[in-house]
Structure 1
Amino acid sequence: MNNIWSSLQERSADIVKAVGEHIYISGLSVLFGILVAVPIGIMLAGNRLKWVNSTVFTIANLLQTIPSLALLAILIPLLGIGTWPAIFALFLYSLMPLMRNTFAGFEAVDPSLVEAAKGMGYSAQQRLFRIQLPLAFPYIMAGIRTTTVYIISWTTLATLIGAGGLGQLIFSGMGVNKKELIIVGALLAVILALITDFLLGLIEKWISRKVRVNPASTTV
């Protein structure tokens, strides 16, 4: 325990830098994933061509099954090394769970509510933002929370292509045989994932209180 505390004190600047890099890489990866996967999930839920849905999900599944190290190695000759190739790789991994949860959320919306809103003269945009999106929101947030935890964990591998992050502490500890550095890096990654999940949970509760759907009148 004393060795861990000593490492924290001696390398505090490196640790702070590594935490900042880790948050930056994982945060942008998830953000880009949300901006791409959620709209695609919404479009797929409204699409009636099953072969299109099957094709998109198959491609996303294939990306998900590629081993992390293999994907990083593939990207090196294409994008080089550094932060952005790592962000791109993690972005690809975020697509499937975000897309799947968004699709499931919209599929779970009671069609009678949508039809009732349509009968009341709601436009497609109004039905989306006033009915479907609020009801699908818990599914979407579940996908975001799960994906974020996974991405924070996988970001430790980003150091292998020079992107930094907490993986730098872990691999440095392995290189110089310092277990305390490995423990500090791994522990901080776990703590960061738990804190992020907790904060996202608070955000979900706050937004859920703000946005309510009344099934009887199909209004927010």
Structure 2
Amino acid sequence: MSSAAVEEVSVPGTRRSTVWVLPLVVLVLLGAVWAYVGSLQLDSIETRSLAPGVVLTALWQHVQLVVVSTILTIAVGVPLGVLLTRPATRKVGGIVLAAANASQAVPSVGVLVVLALVFGVGFSMAVVALVLYALLPVLRNTMVGIRQVSPALIDAGRGMGMSSREVLYTIELPLAVPVMLAGIRVALILNVGVATLAAFTNAGGLGSIISAGISLDRMPVLIVGSALTMALALTVDWLAGLAERVLRPHGI
């Protein structure tokens, strides 16, 4: 087996030389921020705000927000998207998609504030807001992915005696996977960015470091919080890209 074939098996559709470019960018970004902060004479406020325990806690809270909200988004968006492509509910699909588009147009901070006013603050309400905001790409891509499957393939499956459920699981969903994975990837990146606003509802995350830098007028704190958010978004995008290539059905 040639070296090109080995690379194809390890990460389908991607050269090994380019797979590690994004992680290297993240490492360079983190290294530059570390060097910048290390070159400064931090005051007591900056030292407390950038203490390792504070930063790691905020990062862990941010990761939890992103992971939980994305799992719930997939759990809601994919089944709902499949349901809205069925003949009995196809007419409702346009209405639901329009409502999802409308929710995407609402500023994310507005969703967080409204939920905080109605239901209170904390981790759970922040997760609900993130799910509502990231639902559209998962829902839309699920519907688009299934609808773009050739009717001829569906008719061929039914001609072979397959039931509607068998056609869905053996033909429609496998062919829709690439489009669905792209929507999930977009939802992940959205959640990383929007989760910074969860700090305003007492849910923690890297947004707490950013808001502390703004409110305390401490540029090093603001830069560290922003850089960590960027690094997390790039890392999540890289991991999602690898997962998308691995999970993509062969031959599609």
TM-score between both structures, scaled by the size of structure 1: 0.89
Q: Report the identity percentage.
A: 34
Deviation at 1:159, TM superposition (A): 0.1
Asked if 1 retains the 8 angstrom alpha-carbon contact of 2:83 and 2:89, the reply is no
Residue 148 in 1 paired to residue 185 in 2? no
Asked if 1 retains the 8 angstrom alpha-carbon contact of 2:104 and 2:133, the reply is yes
User: Aligned with 1:26: secondary structure?
Assistant: helix
Q: 1:190 aligns with which of 203, 227, 230?
A: 230
RMSD: 2.0
Match of 1:87 in 2: 127
Q: 2:64 aligns with which of 6, 24, 27?
A: 24
CA distance in 2, matches of 1:126, 1:213: 20
Please list every run of 5 or more consecutive structure 2 residues that lacks an aligned counterpart in the other structure. 1-32, 41-45
Deviation at 1:50, TM superposition (A): 5.2
Match of 2:202 in 1: 162
CA distance in 1, matches of 2:146, 2:152: 13
Does 63-72 or 134-143 show the bigger shift?
63-72
**Counterpart amino acid of residue 28 in structure 1:** V
Larger radius of gyration: 2
CA distance in 2, matches of 1:8, 1:191: 21
CA distance in 2, matches of 1:131, 1:50: 19
Summarize the alignment of residues 110-125 of structure 1 with structure 2, pairs less than 5 Å apart.
Answer: 110-125=150-165
CA distance in 1, matches of 2:238, 2:100: 27
CA distance in 2, matches of 1:13, 1:163: 17
Q: 1:107 aligns with which of 144, 147, 153?
A: 147
Summarize the alignment of residues 54-69 of structure 1 with structure 2, pairs less than 5 Å apart.
Answer: 54-69=94-109
Summarize the alignment of residues 205-216 of structure 1 with structure 2, pairs less than 5 Å apart.
Answer: 205-208=245-248, 211-212=249-250
Q: 1:4 aligns with which of 37, 42, 47?
A: 37
In the alignment of these two chains, the number of paired residues is 212
Deviation at 1:15, TM superposition (A): 1.0
Match of 1:217 in 2: none
Asked if 1 retains the 8 angstrom alpha-carbon contact of 2:112 and 2:126, the reply is yes
TM-score between both structures, scaled by the size of structure 2: 0.78
CA distance in 1, matches of 2:163, 2:227: 50
Match of 1:131 in 2: 171
Does 108-117 or 42-51 show the bigger shift?
42-51
**Counterpart amino acid of residue 54 in structure 1:** G
Match of 1:40 in 2: 80
Encode CA deviations 1:20-60: one digit per residue, 9 max, x unaligned. 10010111111111101111111212236554112111221
Please list every run of 5 or more consecutive structure 1 residues that lacks an aligned counterpart in the other structure. 215-220
Moved over 3 A (4+): 5-10, 47-51, 211-214
Deviation at 1:125, TM superposition (A): 2.2
Shift in CA distance, 190/8, structure 1 to aligned 2, threshold 3 Å: farther
Asked if 1 retains the 8 angstrom alpha-carbon contact of 2:192 and 2:229, the reply is yes
User: Aligned with 2:238: secondary structure?
Assistant: helix
Asked if 2 retains the 8 angstrom alpha-carbon contact of 1:98 and 1:144, the reply is yes
Match of 1:72 in 2: 112
Encode CA deviations 1:144-192: one digit per residue, 9 max, x unaligned. 1111101100100000010000001000111211111111111111111
CA distance in 1, matches of 2:212, 2:105: 28
Deviation at 1:71, TM superposition (A): 1.5
Encode CA deviations 1:122-163: one digit per residue, 9 max, x unaligned. 222221121111110010010011111011001000000100
